């Protein structure tokens, strides 16, 4: 099979980038794929320099009627170059990692009626970037129609598939494949003292860690408020937030306002190959909030590194993991997050019971790796040829 992978997220600074990079890399080892190509090929920027600042443009994007214009404009990006690439490469199948460009599917189907079109769907653009768009119901209908004319759709969670496709779900076309991790990149490391010295972590503190894009909807402000509430009783705490994004300046100001400058570090972006060593400097990993449709990559990475994890109360987490056995699930409110962190601080036995869970690590290695993820997608696409 010749596979063309259409992904703008390959060069982005969020979880979709990791998904696309790992997927495309794993294609190299799949015997069913005789040739592969990616489109577009862009100049890769240093992610630490790609912070999306709040600007007039960002303000305008929040106006409902202007969101319509931005949305249609987004659906013109790369399409002419993609058509040219398809003609040159002559793929058997096109896999689109959807961002906000699903309107392009109909045009591609009309242009290449015999081409297998598959979609990698991590959510709906109307949940985040275009949530305030005018005529939302119209666009939701168009979204569903676009996926209905595709040959196959890959969703990251049952909830996401149900929400987007509703009564139009076709089990033969609409497939759920959960995200994964790479056990060769994420694993427990014993010598934490050496790592803390190497990465400049305090050796005598209990380190709570978070890694991810600093988006406003991630509700990291709640984590900072909770941390401030806990400090008087637990003065040995230290919070590390790794990542970058549009909420960075707001978080910096909040840290200053709360007087947490000595106990909280914002470390910016790290190279992906540096993350495991940093994870192994944590005593506790927190990912307290995610949108309901998500299947967070970081949960798999935290657990593969052997960390005790506080995870969001969303359907994909509950369907894959056992609460209080594999990790601790929390609600997203201030009180719930505070209670969850406090419980793990006070109960070291419970904390240790959800750390370095070899059975869980082996289960992740067996079922939730990027190799498994990629092979399932390739197998499903081949079924349509």
Question: For position 36, which CATH number holds?
Answer: 3.40.50.2000
Considering the domain architecture, whether residues 116 and 174 belong to the same structural domain is answered as yes
Both 225 and 329 in one domain: the answer is yes
The closest alpha carbon to 148, from 105, 96, 97, belongs to 105
Q: What is the pLDDT of residue 48?
A: 45
187 inside domain: no
- Please check whether residue 186 lies inside any domain of the structure: no
Residues 95 and 67 in one domain: yes
Three-state SS annotation for the chain: CEEEEECCHHHCCCHHHHHHHHHHHHHCCCCCCCEEEEECCCCCCCHHHCCCCCCHHHHHHCCHHHHHHHHHHHCCCCHHHHHHHHHHHCCCEEEEECCCCCCHHHHHHHHCCCCEEEEEECCCCCCCCCCCCCCHHHHHHHHHHHHHCCCEEEECCHHHHHHHHHHHCCCCCEEECCCCECCCCCCCCCCHHHHHHHCCCCCCCEEEEEECCCCHHHCHHHHHHHHHHHCCCCCCEEEEEEECCCCHHHHHHHHHHHCCCCCEEEEECCCHHHHHHHHCCCCEEECCCCCCCCCCHHHHHHHHCCCCEEEECCHHHHHHCCECCCEEEECCCHHHHHHHHHHHHHCHHHHHHCCCCHHHHHHHHHHCEHHHHHHHHHHHHHHHC
Are 246 and 143 in a shared domain?
no
Cis? peptide before 9, omega within 30° of 0: no
Residues 175 and 200 in one domain: no
The domain containing residue 233 runs over which residues? 192-367
- Do 16 and 157 belong together in one domain? yes
Q: What is the pLDDT of residues 166-218, one digit of tens each?
A: 999 999 999 999 999 999 999 999 988 999 999 999 999 999 999 998 988 89
Return the pLDDT at 2.
98
d(CA 1, CA 385): 9
Q: Are residues 168 and 233 in the same domain?
A: no
| One domain, residues 165 and 203 | no
Domain shared by 136 and 159, yes or no: yes
One domain for residues 37 and 123: yes
Work out the angle at residue 293's Cα, subtended by the Cα atoms of residues 288 and 298, and round it to the nearest 5 degrees: 45
Token pair 């092979």 in the structure block, residue: 375
> Could you write out the three-class secondary structure of 225-283?
HHHHHHCCCCCCEEEEEEECCCCHHHHHHHHHHHCCCCCEEEEECCCHHHHHHHHCCCC
pLDDT of residue 205: 97
Burial of 63 (0-12, 13-18, 19+ CB in 10 A): middle
- pLDDT for the residue 58: 67
pTM of this structure: 0.91
- Residue 185 domain flag: no
The answer to whether residues 59 and 162 belong to one domain is: yes
Q: Are residues 200 and 72 part of one domain? A: no
Query: What's the pLDDT at 50?
Result: 44
Which residues are bridge partners to 2 per DSSP?
35
Task: Tally the domains of the chain.
Answer: 2
Q: What are 260-286's pLDDT values in tens digits?
A: 999 999 999 998 899 999 999 999 999
Retrieve residue 16's tokens.
């979709």
* pLDDT computed for residue 15 by the predictor: 60
Helix orientation angle between 370-384 and 15-27, rounded to the nearest 10 degrees: 70
- Residues of the chain short of pLDDT 70, as ranges, are 13-16, 43-59
Q: Is residue 212 part of a domain?
A: yes
pLDDT of residue 217: 87
> What pLDDT score does 328 carry?
98
């Amino acid at each position: 099979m010749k596979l063309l992978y259409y992904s703008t997220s390959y060069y982005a600074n969020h979880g979709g980038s990791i998904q696309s990079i790992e997927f495309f890399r794993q294609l190299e080892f799949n015997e069913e794929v005789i040739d592969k190509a990616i489109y577009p090929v862009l100049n890769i920027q240093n992610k630490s320099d790609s912070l999306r600042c709040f600007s007039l443009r960002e303000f305008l994007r929040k106006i409902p009627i202007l969101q319509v214009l931005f949305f249609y404009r987004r659906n013109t990006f790369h399409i002419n170059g993609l058509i040219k690439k398809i003609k040159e490469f002559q793929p058997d199948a096109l896999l689109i990692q959807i961002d906000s460009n699903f309107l392009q599917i109909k045009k591609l189907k009309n242009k290449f009626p015999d081409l297998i079109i598959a979609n990698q769907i991590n959510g709906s653009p109307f949940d985040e970037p275009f949530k305030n768009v005018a005529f939302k119901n119209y666009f939701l209908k168009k979204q569903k129609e676009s996926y209905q004319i595709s040959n196959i759709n890959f969703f990251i969670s049952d909830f996401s598939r149900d929400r987007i496709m509703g009564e139009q779900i076709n089990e033969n076309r609409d497939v759920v494949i959960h995200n994964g991790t790479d056990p060769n990149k994420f694993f427990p490391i014993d010598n934490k003292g050496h790592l803390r010295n190497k990465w400049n972590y305090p050796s005598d503190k209990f380190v709570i860690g978070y890694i991810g894009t600093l988006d406003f909807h991630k509700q990291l402000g709640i984590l900072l408020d909770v941390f401030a509430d806990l400090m008087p009783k637990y003065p040995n705490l230290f919070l590390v937030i790794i990542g970058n994004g549009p909420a960075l300046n707001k978080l910096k100001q909040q840290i200053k306002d709360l007087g947490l400058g000595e106990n909280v570090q914002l470390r910016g972006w790290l190279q992906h190959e540096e993350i495991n060593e940093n994870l192994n400097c944590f005593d506790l990993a927190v990912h307290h909030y995610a949108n309901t449709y998500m299947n967070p990559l970081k949960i798999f990475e935290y657990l593969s590194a052997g960390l005790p994890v506080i995870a969001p109360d969303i359907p994909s987490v509950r369907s894959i993991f056992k609460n209080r056995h594999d990790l601790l699930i929390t609600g997203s409110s201030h009180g719930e997050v505070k209670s969850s962190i406090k419980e793990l601080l006070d109960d070291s036995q419970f904390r240790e019971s959800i750390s370095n869970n070899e059975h869980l690590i082996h289960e992740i290695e067996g079922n939730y790796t990027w190799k498994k993820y990629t092979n399932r997608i390739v197998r499903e696409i081949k079924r349509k040829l």
